[in-house]
Amino acid sequence: LNSPEVTSKWHNYKAAEEEIGVARGGFLPRVDLTAGGGRETLQQPPLRDRNDYSRSSYLLSLNQMLFDGFATHNEVRRLDKARLVRYYELLDASENVALEAARAYLDVLRYRFLVNLAEDNYVQHKATHEQLIRRTQSGVGRRVDLEQAGSRLALAEINLTTETANLHDVTARYQRLINSQPPGTVLPPSQLGNQLPASQKAALDTLYQKNPALLAAVENIEAAERDIDVRRAAYSPKLDFRARTDNTNNYLGVDGQRNYNVAELVVSWNIFNGGSDRAREKQYIERKHLAVDLREKACRDTRQTLAIAYNDVQRLKEQSTYLATQVSLLEKTRDAYRDQFNVGQRTLLDLLDTENELLSARRNAVNADTDLSLAYLRTYAGMGTLLEVLGLQKLDARDPAANELAGSDARQFCPAEAITQVASNRETLNARAMAQLDSKPALPAAAVPPASLDGELQAQVNAWAAAWAAKNYNDYLAFYAPSFTPDGGLSREDWAQLRRSRIATRDNIGVELHDIKIRLDGPDRAFAEFRQVYQSNQYKDTTQKSLELIKVGGKWLINRESSVPCTGNTV
């Protein structure tokens, strides 16, 4: 708690403590001594002679206030309340600085985790990108997949750069608050919830007893009331005891010592002051009303802050459980998708989307865990018990005695009413979901081609593979419809030229089709899905392929073609 913000409040408190001594001096007598000596010249009528002589003197006076309308008494009481206000302001600053320091610590922890996640995400995308580069260079990968993977890799690099910059910023903030670099190993806090009240109302009761911002506002009203009493002293007479002794040598040119001694009671009473005293009293009455309004505002602000923090604890505890479940399931999904991608059962886009979804879920889980720890600390700060929970020692300041505190109870003007929670009933929502499910018609079964049509389509697909294996380019090209659109953004002409060059340059080609499945999509459209094993003298690969066939002039032709490489391909 050596923050400049805290030490400045501490010095302000010490100044208020010393100011009380200034006011208490009004109860004690004032003693003044005046002495002097020198040459004097005196010329006075009716004589015109000048008289030059030496003169010396001293004056000792005592002034004791006996009654001043209780102005000094009330000023001491006002300053004593002002000292309490400064004390609670010191505590409030200590609580706030401790909370901000804890927030900075948690942010460093948060962004170190997020940087690690961004690094892992970059590694995953980099590995996928390199894998697709090798496939594309060997002729089995699609350039569009490589470009898509490159785009996601660039996004992963952006995320890593952003998280690294965020970590730098929160580290600089930590250094500003703590005045040192964060340690190399930052451990997450544990057991923060052990001292959390069981209910929001119990937390509010603690707030009214210990929150320094609210207590400062309460004591400020008492100080304003004493200030009014000080101003009302102007209506009363003032009684002082005065005594003095005056000794002068050669007074007015007369040789010898002159002694003058007096002791007296002096009464002074202002009869009329142009209405200034009455106006000043009204001025300080309005200042008291201002203090009351500020107390009301402090009450509402602190009550809202605590209610939100306490609710955040409950919400984030529940969310953390769901997020942990989501991360666990997404990790399993990602691993399954990667295995399916390697055998051609998932597209690259499916895998990349799952990677990004997993990264987002992990980020949310890290943020939720960090925010939960921060919500605990915000709740303790809202109650005014954060220093106690963290085991921090406040700066040397005397705790006020019970008889020094204001007699008002904050509950009288700021009820401890916990907000009524409107929680969703999960059982009701589940029942609605089941009712909605039951009301929907069953999905139609996929069309199953008749045996004759199934055989016709399988024969057409096998004939296409045979023409390819025979390196008969014209027969191979005849299996493609005029509307055929090549995958990967190639034009029909470029695709045809590429296929001709690849078929012509291979010495021996083997094409085997396994597990052919036919699915109809209307009378003139069908899909054929199968595992394709391709082998030549230079290359061998296995892909999961899908052909879209349409009926053109009574003949089934290929309209679209897509494939996903499987593992084990060799060059």
Written as one string, the DSSP assignment of 253-309 is G-SSEEEEEEEEEEEE-----TTHHHHHHHHHHHHHHHHHHHHHHHHHHHHHHHHHH
Nearest to 139 by CA among 387, 488, 398, 466: 488
| HSE-up of residue 375 (Cα within 13 Å, Cβ side) | 19
pTM: predicted TM-score of the whole model, two decimal places = 0.70
Shared-domain flag, residues 406 and 455: no
Q: Number of folded domains in the chain?
A: 2
Inside any domain, residue 357: yes
* Pair 526, 407 in one domain: no
Fill in the amino acid letter for 372. Answer: L
| pLDDT tens column, 251-264 | 776 777 888 999 99
Residue 75: CATH number of its domain:
1.20.1600.10
Confidence at residue 522, expressed as pLDDT on a 0 to 100 scale: 81
275 found inside a domain: yes
Strands of 509-520's sheet, edge to edge? 509-520, 525-536, 540-552, 555-565
Helix (H) or strand (E) holding 56: strand 51-67
552 within 8 A of 541, measured Cβ to Cβ: no
What SS3 state is found at 302? helix
Residue 229 lies in a domain: yes
Same domain? For 504 and 380 the reply is no
CATH of the domain at 462: 3.10.450.50
Single out the residue in 413, 433, 464 at which a domain terminates.
413
Domain end among 413, 442, 461:
413
Same domain, 144 and 273: yes
Alpha-carbon gap, residue 113 to 371, rounded angstroms: 13
User: Domain check: are 360 and 469 in the same one?
Assistant: no
Would residue 47 count as lying in a domain? Answer: yes
> Are both 466 and 362 inside the same structural domain?
no
Q: How open is the CA angle 383-385-386, to the nearest 5 degrees?
A: 110
DSSP annotation of 155? H
d(CA 27, CA 238): 13
Give Dmax over CA atoms of the chain in angstroms.
156
Same-domain pairing of 380 and 472: no
Residue 350, in any domain of the structure = yes
Distances in Å between the Cα of 488 and the Cα atoms of 175, 362, 491 are 52, 33, 9
Taking the CA of residue 275 as centre, how many other CA atoms within 13 Å lie in the half-sphere pointing to its CB? 2
Check whether residue 187 and residue 252 sit in a common domain.
yes
Q: Number of C-alpha atoms within 13 angstroms, CB side, residue 137?
A: 8
Residue 570 lies in a domain: no
Query: Which one-letter DSSP state was computed for residue 441?
Result: P
Bridge partners, 60 (sequence order)? 33, 245
Cα separation, 199 vs 418, in Å, equals 9
Digit-by-digit pLDDT tens for the chain (571 residues) are 678 899 999 999 999 999 999 999 999 999 999 998 888 887 777 766 777 778 889 999 999 999 999 999 999 999 999 999 999 999 999 999 999 999 999 999 999 999 999 999 999 989 988 888 887 777 766 778 888 889 989 999 999 999 999 999 999 999 999 889 988 877 778 778 888 999 999 999 999 989 999 999 999 999 999 999 999 999 999 999 999 999 998 877 677 788 899 999 999 999 999 999 999 999 999 999 999 999 999 999 999 999 999 999 999 999 999 999 999 999 999 999 888 877 777 777 888 888 889 999 999 999 999 999 999 999 999 999 999 888 887 766 566 776 666 666 666 667 767 777 666 777 788 888 888 777 665 555 555 556 678 888 889 999 988 888 888 888 888 999 988 888 766 788 888 888 887 777 666 788 889 888 888 888 888 999 988 888 877 677 788 888 999 998 889 999 988 877 665 444 4
Residues 117, 381: Cα–Cα separation, whole Å: 31
Tokens 């929907």 locate to: 440
User: Of 389, 413, 437, which one is at a domain's C-terminal end?
Assistant: 413
- Phi and psi at 432, nearest 5°, equal -65, -40
- Is 328 a member of any domain? yes
Verify that 492 and 396 share a domain, yes or no.
no
Q: Which domain holds residue 523?
A: 451-565
CB atoms within 10 A of CB 427: 8
Distance (Å, whole) CA 329 – CA 341? 18
Residue 523 shares a structural domain with residue 376: no
Residues 374 and 473 in one domain: no
Q: Based on the domain organization, do 370 and 487 belong to the same domain?
A: no
Looking at the domain assignment, is residue 434 inside a domain?
no
